[in-house]
Amino acid sequence: MGFKFYLLSSSMRLSYLMFADDILLFSKGDASSMMIIIRTFSTFSATSGLRMSKGKSNVYFNGVSEALKADFLQVSGLVEGRLPFRYLEVPIKTTRLNAQDCKPLFDKIMARIRILGIGNCHMQEVAWICSSVVRWIYTKPDLLWVKWVSNIYLRGSAWQDYSPSTNSSWYQRKICQVKDDFHQAYQQQNWVPNGNGYTISNGYEFLRLKSHDVPWSGFVWNVWTIPKHGFIAWIYHHGNMNTKSKLHRLGIREDSTCCICGIAEETMEHLFFDCPYSKCLLLCMGAWMGINFPVNNLLTWRLGRSGSQVQKEILDAAINACIYNIWHQRNRSKHELVLVRPNKLARLIMEELKMIFRGLDRRNLNRREEDWFQELLRRGS
- Which residues are registered as beta bridge partners of 257? 265
Residues 202 and 324 in one domain: no
Q: What residue numbers bound the domain in which 28 lies?
A: 1-83
pLDDT of residue 211: 72
Rounded to 10 deg, the angle between the 276-289 and 309-335 helix axes is 150
Among 10-14, 134-138, 308-312, top mean pLDDT goes to 308-312
pLDDT of residue 122: 47
Among 88-97, 98-107, 236-245, 306-315, top mean pLDDT goes to 236-245
pLDDT, mean of residues 261-273:
93
Residues 273 and 168 in one domain: no
Mean pLDDT, the chain, as a whole number? 82
pLDDT of residue 113: 58
Instruction: Note the pTM of the prediction, 2 decimals.
Output: 0.53
Spatial distance between the Cα atoms of 178 and 155, rounded to a whole number of angstroms: 20
Residue 85 to residues 80, 81, 82, 203, 315, Cα–Cα distance (Å): 11, 7, 6, 44, 52
88 lies in some domain: no
Q: Strand locations in 58-173, DSSP E?
A: 58-59, 79-80, 86-87, 90-91
Residues 244 and 360 in one domain: yes
pLDDT, mean of residues 61-65:
87
Report the DSSP pairing between strands 58-59 and 79-80.
Answer: parallel
pLDDT of residue 112: 65
- Which residues are registered as beta bridge partners of 86? 91
pLDDT of residue 116: 46
pLDDT of residue 3: 52
Residues 358 and 231 in one domain: yes
232 lies in some domain: yes
29 lies in some domain: yes
101 lies in some domain: no
Count how many domains the chain has. 3
98 lies in some domain: no
Which residue, 83, 102, 133, sits at the end of a domain?
Answer: 83
Among 185-194, 214-223, 263-272, 295-304, top mean pLDDT goes to 263-272
Residues 371 and 226 in one domain: yes
Burial status of residue 293 (CB atoms within 10 A of its CB: 0-12, 13-18, 19 or more): buried
Residues 229 and 292 in one domain: yes
Residue 369 to residues 123, 177, 218, 288, 290, Cα–Cα distance (Å): 37, 51, 19, 16, 15
Residues 223 and 253 in one domain: yes
Q: Are 360 and 224 in contact (CB under 8 A)?
A: yes
pLDDT, mean of residues 221-232:
92
Residues 19 and 157 in one domain: no
Model confidence at 234: pLDDT above 80: yes
Torsion of CA 314, 315, 321, 324, to 10 degrees: -130
178 lies in some domain: yes
Spatial distance between the Cα atoms of 225 and 320, rounded to a whole number of angstroms: 7
Residues 301 and 355 in one domain: yes
Per-residue pLDDT of 178-213, as tens digits, reads 888 887 777 766 777 766 777 777 777 787 777 778
Residue 289's CB: how many other CB atoms inside 10 A?
19
